[in-house]
């Protein structure tokens, strides 16, 4: 997989597929508490340890943050760790709230 970023619309469509990607939220816990995507998991050291140890390195993973900057860095890091199908959601949860689900709070 070459593309590092995907759009919120692509993420929405993939989440509705038979093999949905895992969502990894790379924001701070305080941001997670404000708003997060259903099915997402907040990345902390414990989750990172599990990911590196137990997750299939070929499964689809989509990272997201507030505006898509931190998630690009996280996706690049995970690719360096051997994850071949990890991407970042362009525009982050802010773009998701604007384009996909306007009911979500924005900050």
Distance from C-alpha of 65 to C-alpha of 72, rounded to nearest angstrom = 9
Question: Average pLDDT, stretch 79-104?
Answer: 97
User: For residue range 28-74, what is the model confidence (pLDDT) as tens digits?
Assistant: 999 999 999 999 999 999 999 999 999 999 999 999 999 999 999 99
Question: Average pLDDT, stretch 12-25?
Answer: 97
What residues contact residue 20 under an 8 Å CB cut-off, 6+ apart?
A: 14, 39, 60
The reported pTM is 0.95
Per-residue model confidence (pLDDT) at position 104: 97
Per-residue model confidence (pLDDT) at position 98: 98
Annotated catalytic sites, by residue?
A: 65
Distance from C-alpha of 57 to C-alpha of 91, rounded to nearest angstrom = 25
The CB density around residue 1, as the number of other CB atoms within 10 Å, is: 11
Per-residue model confidence (pLDDT) at position 2: 60
């Amino acid at each position: 997989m070459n593309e590092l970023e995907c759009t919120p619309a692509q993420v929405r469509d993939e989440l509705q597929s038979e093999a949905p990607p895992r969502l990894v939220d790379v924001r701070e816990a305080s941001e997670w508490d404000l708003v997060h995507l259903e099915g997402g998991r907040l990345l902390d050291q414990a989750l990172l340890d599990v990911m590196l140890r137990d997750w299939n390195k070929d499964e689809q993973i989509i990272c997201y943050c507030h505006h898509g900057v931190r998630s690009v860095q996280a996706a690049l890091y995970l690719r360096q760790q051997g994850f071949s199908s990890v991407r970042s959601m362009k525009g982050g949860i802010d773009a998701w709230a604007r384009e996909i689900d306007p009911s979500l709070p924005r900050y």
